[in-house]
Amino acid sequence: MSVLDLFSVEDKVVVVTGASSGLGVAFATGFAEAGADVVLAARRVERLAETAAAVEAAGRTPLPVATDVTDPAQCQAAIDAAMEKFGRVDILINNAGIGTAVPATRETPDEFRGVIDLNLNGSYWMAQCCARVMQPGSAIINIASILGITTAGLPQAAYAASKAGVIGMTRDLAQQWTTRKGIRVNAIAPGFFKSEMTDSYQPGYIESQSARLVAGRMGDPAELAATAIWLASPAGGYVTGQTIVVDGGVTIT
């Protein structure tokens, strides 16, 4: 096997949550272009048609499934559908999440709980369901954030707490499952990438952070997809329990 062969995810089955928009579309499209079939899980199932078309255009098979990851039963139903259609699940991209920017003195309990429930709890329920059916050599990739590591000038306590939780959860699931089940568990912590979250920022916010962007630009979602493909492929076979920061240098400034 050549070094390039190690990066192959050909004929794998990947579940992408939050696949209806933003980074979820990039992950789904990237894995399809790399040869994987893709289970498209999202609450807004009506918006999955475009992502499914992109997967088909890459020559692979999409499976759209309406999924609210805050409901463990819906997570289980999505994985059941994947097993019925494809017979296995090889990779999970735990991408579903929301971002908020609410001053801590004004954030309501429901607002805070809603972020934690989707970003942290939802990732856990989906990882649980996948781990029950995954075979040795499978991979789970949780999408964290640099805001689980640093701050970025906005009042984002709930979001930061949820993503720090994802990083801690990633370490623990790796130590539970890598030896016992042969499932590697890692996280990616993106910096500033175009998404629904960045679209909601006030004008001028990204520019205010430009001094921290050592790379001099926002990230391209395809760069995140490429990182995930590396982590999910045999090329990442000796990496587990890690959080890979992909941020153009924000966290070093």
Higher pLDDT, 21 or 236: 236
Burial of 248 (0-12, 13-18, 19+ CB in 10 A): buried
**Average of pLDDT values for 5-31?**
97
Does residue 192 contact residue 247 with C-beta atoms inside 8 Å?
yes
Task: Determine the pLDDT at residue 61.
Answer: 98
Domain spans in the chain, listed from the N-terminal domain onward: 4-245
Residue 73 above 90 pLDDT?
A: yes
Task: Determine the pLDDT at residue 216.
Answer: 86
Residue 223, SS3 per DSSP: helix
Phi, psi (rounded to 5 degrees) for 57: -65, -25
pTM of the model: 0.95
Does residue 127 contact residue 173 with C-beta atoms inside 8 Å?
yes
Residue of 22, 110, 125 lying closest to 68 (CA atoms): 125
Task: Determine the pLDDT at residue 203.
Answer: 72
Instruction: Give per-residue pLDDT as tens, 99-141.
Output: 888 999 999 999 999 999 999 999 999 999 999 999 999 999 9
Residue of 201, 113, 200 lying closest to 165 (CA atoms): 113
Residue of 230, 127, 241, 234 lying closest to 184 (CA atoms): 241
d(CA 204, CA 38): 36
Does residue 187 contact residue 240 with C-beta atoms inside 8 Å?
no
What does the block give as tokens for 220?
């391209």
Residue 154 above 90 pLDDT?
A: no
Phi, psi (rounded to 5 degrees) for 242: -105, 155
Residue of 188, 76, 86, 70 lying closest to 123 (CA atoms): 70
Does residue 21 contact residue 196 with C-beta atoms inside 8 Å?
yes
Instruction: Give per-residue pLDDT as tens, 33-52.
Output: 999 999 999 998 889 999 99
Instruction: Give per-residue pLDDT as tens, 74-84.
Output: 999 999 999 99
Give the fold, CATH level 3, of 4-245. Answer: Rossmann fold (3.40.50)
Catalytic positions, please? Answer: 159
d(CA 34, CA 160): 32
Instruction: Give per-residue pLDDT as tens, 176-229.
Output: 999 999 999 999 999 988 766 666 666 766 667 767 889 888 899 999 999 999
Higher pLDDT, 154 or 117: 117
d(CA 223, CA 150): 21
| pLDDT band with cut points at 50, 70 and 90 for residue 56 | very high
d(CA 211, CA 213): 6
| pLDDT band with cut points at 50, 70 and 90 for residue 253 | confident
